[in-house]
Structure 1
Amino acid sequence: MELMTAVAVRPRSLVVLAGLPGAGKSTLLAHLDAGGVPVVVLDSDQVRARLRTVFPARLPYRFYRPLVHLVHRARVLLFAAGRTGLLVVHEPSTRPTTRAWLVLVGFLAVRHRQFLWLDATAEEAMAGQVERGRLVRGTSFARHVRRAAWLRDRFAEGWVPRGWHALTVLTRRDRVRLSVTPD
């Protein structure tokens, strides 16, 4: 059973959808309802797909992964600063430095910062990775899982990460409706 979760956002919000790799962020974004309001969604998979057409097909992703992440972050910065309207960013954000960077981008671009956490167990996230046919390296995934467990505990206590205006915790059954409210 799916649940519709309404999230109130401002017209120039920076909305970050975070969670473990494989948690279902891409699936949730595919069903995102912004109520007819234009929204820009930035996902590193968009960059990966584009670069896949540039590099030889046999070139393993690990060789151009750093470039994908660099270009993704540059796009986030450029879109946040140079565009109006809603901006939704797909990013695991289990690292404190990633969250801090996104806060800085939102602050500099004068955007309301909304953090959505898609909560999933390590098992659910691993099953999601297997389903999509792309596995995160074991050591990297283990670090994400440790950091996500810490975040999950803080979120259960009502903690909102520093620099974020609001936090919404979602489950894999949730669908999101962004409701734009006046500034």
Structure 2
Amino acid sequence: MNRTTAYATTSGIAVPKQPGARSRQTCRPLGAAVVRDLRARAGRSPHGLTFGAGDLVVLTGLPGSGKSTLMRRTVRGARIDSQDTRDRWDTRLARFLPYALYRPLVRLAHYAGLRRALRAGAGVVVHDCGTQAWVRGWLAREARRRGGTLHLLLLDVTPDTALAGQRERGRGVSRYAFLRHRRATRRLLRSIERGEMPEGCGSAVLLDRDAADVLHRIDFTD
């Protein structure tokens, strides 16, 4: 299997298009931020991403872009996905109450689960909708505290693809919420493409649909 992870060097420059990936790459603590752009490779992108043992990874993108599906398929180790938390609560309450009434409890349970995972000290992959900058700040501080690095994975798909994904799963967000997510994700993507990452982020990996489809494993070193 073509097991690849992105060696995060200390060059600290954005690389919109890079040559073919090595057979194995690993993201490690950095002195400067690094961008790995795996888009537009027509499926010739890494089959695996490996990060440092104490690192934290945030997966972000538009609602419906396929983040939860990608996490379930690829993450070997701890993963914290707000969708998993919602599904558990929906099983118990959706027949009796509209989601809006118990959404605060879902959020509380999600962040409580994230806190427990972080306290365990191992690497964690965290779902992020792209609009909660304070969550990335929290994770960046935690990564520094444990001597690791915060890495960002951004799943870059078109709004139409994301909306189609919402229809396919039978669950969507409001037009207002989607536009808010779209603006936030676009700002984040443009910033990363300029090599300007969120504060505390050591590296970023940009994925399109093809790159996400061939990615089979996200894990952490022992």
| TM-score, length-scaled by structure 2 | 0.71
Per the alignment, residue 154 of structure 1 pairs with 191
Report 1 or 2 for greater relative contact order, CA contacts < 8 Å, sequence distance ≥ 6.
1
Structure 1 residue 101 corresponds to structure 2 residue 138: yes
1:43 corresponds in structure 2 to 81
**Match status 1:76 vs 2:114:** yes
Q: Among all aligned residue pairs of Structure 1 and Structure 2, give the percentage whose two residues are the same amino acid.
A: 34
Q: Distance in 1 between matches of 2:91 and 2:218?
A: 33
Normalized per residue, the structure richer in strand is: 1
Contact 1:12 1:86 in 2 (8 A): yes
Q: 1:68 to 1:107 in 2, by over 3 A?
A: farther
Aligned residue identity for 1:51: W
Superposed CA deviations along residues 106-160 of structure 1, whole A, max 9, x for unmatched, are 3345542111111112111111111111111111111110111111111211222
Query: Quick check: 1:171 aligned with 2:208?
Result: yes
Is the contact made by 1:95 and 1:147 (CA closer than 8 Å) also made in structure 2?
A: no
Q: Which whole-Å CA distance do the structure 2 matches of 1:173 and 1:30 have between them?
A: 17
Asked if 1:89 corresponds to 2:126, the answer is yes
Give, as a single letter, the amino acid of the residue that structure 1 aligns with 2:175: G
Corresponding position: 1:136 with 2:178: no
The partner residue of 1:117 within 123, 132, 154 is 154
Q: Which runs of 5+ in 1 are unaligned?
A: none
Larger Rg: 2
Structure 2: unaligned runs, 5 residues or longer: 1-41
In structure 1, give the amino acid aligned to 2:108: L
In 1, distance between residues paired with 2:116 and 2:147?
13
Q: Name the CA distance, whole Å, in 2 between partners of 1:93 and 1:150.
A: 10
Where 1:115 maps in the other structure, the secondary structure is strand
3-state SS of paired residue (1:146): helix
Equivalences, count:
177
Change (3 A) 1:56 1:141: closer
